[in-house]
């Protein structure tokens, strides 16, 4: 069977997801390819996977004709469906939503897309994101729906014992845009540093995806909070290197903080958990399948800086709880997000549609 995954750009969580599931499905005898409409920094992680990068209709038609795809899984971009039909594609379509930012945007976009979705889609997929599941059930009760955890190969992306960093590191991963809530991270980081002056802040981003207005505000806020000497910003770190980064952060006594207002199923959290780097997160809907408070991670209330600092300091000072979370988080990822489990669920989805 031939499958094509389609998305705008190879970057962030969707790039990681597509790479991991293509490899997992290959083991099950499913031939999976990826198509992106524009180049992105995630191409550095591609390896030997068959990946196409083009937005040209003639080239895409050639890809579709040559690939003879039984199913095309499109992440977010519902306009792909009539476009591909015009190119002569006659196979099945699945619409996948990994995240849509604010919930009101998800409602608006998926309501607006109703005529196209109803006309073309054979299945709806999401990674157990509660608000997306609710939207699907409300707007499209007649279309088969599937929700299961994304796949993550925790056996190959895992903890590494490395020389210990001299100071605790508090890390953040995301885009410099409003929903990722970088402002809150800087505020929380500054507040922790006032109590633990040795703390270092690391931020990981793809600069090409940053909002220019947000970037200017970001630079100004760093200066206002006097964080320049303790903040390191790293751009487009190859994915394979991040297991070393997370392992070092975890062993430093630090953590990953996710400040997002709304999330689908963020891969950065799974990667950190697999590498024994504890995670403190907002209760941003989609993380509910990976984080259980004080078991596999910690939650704090969005917008409540004092609460975030309290939970972060507990992770740093309470060694017993910290080790409990690190151990259980790693086990949880290995058990609930393993590729073979994903593949069996994916194959079942294909059989249903």
DSSP state letters, 104-115: HHHHHHHHHTHH
CA 118 and chain centroid, separation: 27
Please state at what angle helix 319-336 crosses helix 305-317, rounded to 10 degrees. Answer: 100
Give percent above pLDDT 90 in the chain: 89
Same domain, 194 and 326: yes
Please give the Cα distance from 139 to 99 (Å, whole number).
17
Instruction: Give the pLDDT band of residue 12 (cuts 50, 70, 90).
Output: confident
**CA 13 to each of CA 2, 92, 150, 209, 271: distance values in angstroms, whole numbers, following the listed order:** 23, 24, 10, 13, 11
Same domain, 199 and 247: yes
Please indicate whether residue 302 or residue 265 has the higher confidence score (pLDDT). 302
pLDDT of 208 above 90 = no
The predicted structure's pLDDT at residue 108: 96
Helix (H) or strand (E) holding 170: strand 169-173
Q: Does a structural domain hold residue 156?
A: no
Choose the most confident range, by mean pLDDT, from 8-12, 151-155, 209-213, 273-277: 273-277
Please indicate whether residue 137 or residue 47 has the higher confidence score (pLDDT). 137
Tokens of 342: 């994903």
Q: Does a structural domain hold residue 134?
A: yes
pLDDT of 226 above 80 = yes
Task: Look at the chain and report how many structural domains it folds into.
Answer: 2
**CA 29 to each of CA 26, 48, 222, 327: distance values in angstroms, whole numbers, following the listed order:** 5, 16, 50, 33
Same domain, 182 and 330: yes
Average pLDDT, the chain: 95
CATH code at 67? 3.40.50.2000
Q: What is the pLDDT of residues 248-258, one digit of tens each?
A: 999 999 999 99
pLDDT of 198 above 80 = yes
Tokens of 327: 């151990």
Same domain, 239 and 109: no
117 CB-contact burial (10 Å; exposed 0-12 / middle 13-18 / buried 19+): buried
Same domain, 330 and 346: no
Domain hosting residue 180, numbered range: 169-336
Q: Does a structural domain hold residue 253?
A: yes
Please indicate whether residue 12 or residue 23 has the higher confidence score (pLDDT). 23
Q: Does a structural domain hold residue 157?
A: no
Neighbours of 208 (CB within 10 A): 14
Among the listed residues 206, 285, 211, 291, the one whose alpha carbon sits nearest the alpha carbon of residue 257: 291
Q: What is the pLDDT of residues 27-55, one digit of tens each?
A: 899 999 999 999 988 888 877 889 999 99
Same domain, 227 and 115: no
Of 47-51, 57-61, 78-82, 314-318, the least confident:
47-51
Same domain, 174 and 74: no
Q: Does a structural domain hold residue 52?
A: yes
Average pLDDT of span 87-112 = 94
Please give the Cα distance from 164 to 112 (Å, whole number).
51
Q: Does a structural domain hold residue 139?
A: yes
Q: What is the pLDDT of residues 111-124, one digit of tens each?
A: 999 999 999 999 99
Tokens of 88: 């002569």
Q: Does a structural domain hold residue 159?
A: no
Same domain, 96 and 141: yes
Same domain, 20 and 137: yes
Q: Does a structural domain hold residue 83?
A: yes
pLDDT of 284 above 80 = no
Same domain, 249 and 137: no
Same domain, 186 and 303: yes
Same domain, 26 and 138: yes
């Amino acid at each position: 069977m031939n499958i094509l995954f389609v998305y705008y750009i190879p970057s962030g969580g969707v790039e990681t997801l597509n790479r991991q599931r293509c490899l997992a499905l290959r083991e099950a005898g499913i031939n999976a390819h990826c198509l992106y409409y524009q180049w992105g920094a995630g191409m550095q992680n591609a390896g030997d996977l068959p990946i196409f990068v083009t937005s040209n209709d003639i080239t895409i038609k050639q890809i579709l004709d040559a690939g003879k795809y039984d199913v095309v899984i499109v992440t977010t971009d519902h306009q792909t469906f009539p476009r591909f039909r015009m190119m002569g594609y006659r196979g099945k379509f699945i619409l996948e939503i990994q995240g849509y930012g604010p919930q009101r945007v998800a409602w608006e976009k998926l309501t607006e897309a109703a005529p196209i979705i109803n006309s073309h889609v054979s299945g709806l997929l999401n990674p157990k994101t509660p608000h997306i599941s609710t939207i699907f059930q409300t707007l499209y009760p007649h279309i088969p729906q599937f929700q299961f955890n994304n796949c993550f190969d925790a056996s190959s992306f895992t903890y590494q014992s490395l020389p210990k960093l001299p100071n605790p590191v508090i890390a953040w991963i995301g885009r410099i845009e409003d929903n990722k809530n970088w402002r809150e991270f800087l505020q929380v980081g500054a507040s922790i540093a006032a109590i633990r002056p040795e703390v270092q802040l690391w931020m990981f981003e793809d600069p090409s995806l940053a909002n220019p207005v947000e970037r200017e505000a970001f630079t100004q806020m760093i200066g206002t909070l006097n964080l320049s000497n303790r903040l390191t910003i790293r751009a487009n770190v190859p994915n394979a290197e991040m297991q070393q980064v997370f392992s070092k952060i975890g062993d430093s006594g630090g953590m990953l903080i996710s400040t997002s207002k709304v999330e689908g199923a963020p891969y950065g959290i799974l990667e950190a958990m697999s590498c024994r780097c504890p995670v403190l997160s907002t209760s941003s809907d989609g993380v509910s399948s990976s984080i259980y408070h004080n078991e596999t991670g910690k939650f704090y209330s969005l917008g409540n800086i004092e609460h975030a600092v309290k939970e972060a300091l507990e992770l740093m000072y309470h060694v017993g709880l910290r080790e409990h979370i690190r151990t259980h988080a790693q086990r949880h990822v290995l058990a609930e997000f393993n590729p073979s489990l994903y593949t069996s669920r994916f194959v079942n989805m294909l059989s249903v549609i």
